[in-house]
Amino acid sequence: MTSTELASLHRAIDELRHSVAEVHHAYGDVPGVRRLRNDLERLEIDAGELMSAPPVRADDLPEHVVVPDTPLDESMWSGADDEGVGGYHGDRP
């Protein structure tokens, strides 16, 4: 994240802080306002962590692994116990 992006993020959080304060003034300390204040605090914590973390380059990301959704070979499961379905009861047809 560049310094420009971080500055923009901090401005947005400041604006949100102001808006949440107005909502708190209008509605008081109701559960919805408490959740908003909690969310705002979480955003501030996360933004602070980003400031101290080095940016991740595309080269540093883990390799994308495609897991096929085709059925697995049934022979892999021969003799396995079907937990939660009554357990192993001998050979199956």
57 found inside a domain: no
40 found inside a domain: yes
85 or 52, which is more confident? 52
20 found inside a domain: yes
71 found inside a domain: no
9 found inside a domain: yes
Neighbouring C-beta atoms of residue 24, cutoff 10 Å: 15
14 or 65, which is more confident? 14
Q: Per the structure block, which two tokens stand in for 72? A: 């697995």
How many residues are recorded in the chain? 93
pLDDT at 59 over 90: no
pLDDT at 38 over 90: yes
- Percent of the chain clearing pLDDT 70 (strictly above): 83
Give the mean model confidence (pLDDT) for residues 44-59.
Answer: 82
| Residue located via tokens 């933004």 | 47
Work out the pLDDT band at 76, boundaries 50, 70, 90.
confident
14 found inside a domain: yes
How far apart are the C-alpha atoms of 31 and 8, rounded to whole Å? 29
76 found inside a domain: no
pLDDT at 75 over 90: no
Number of domains in the chain: 1
The SS3 of residue 79 is coil
**Quick check: 6 and 50 in contact, CB under 8 A?**
yes
pTM above 0.85, yes or no: no
For 21, the domain range is: 3-52
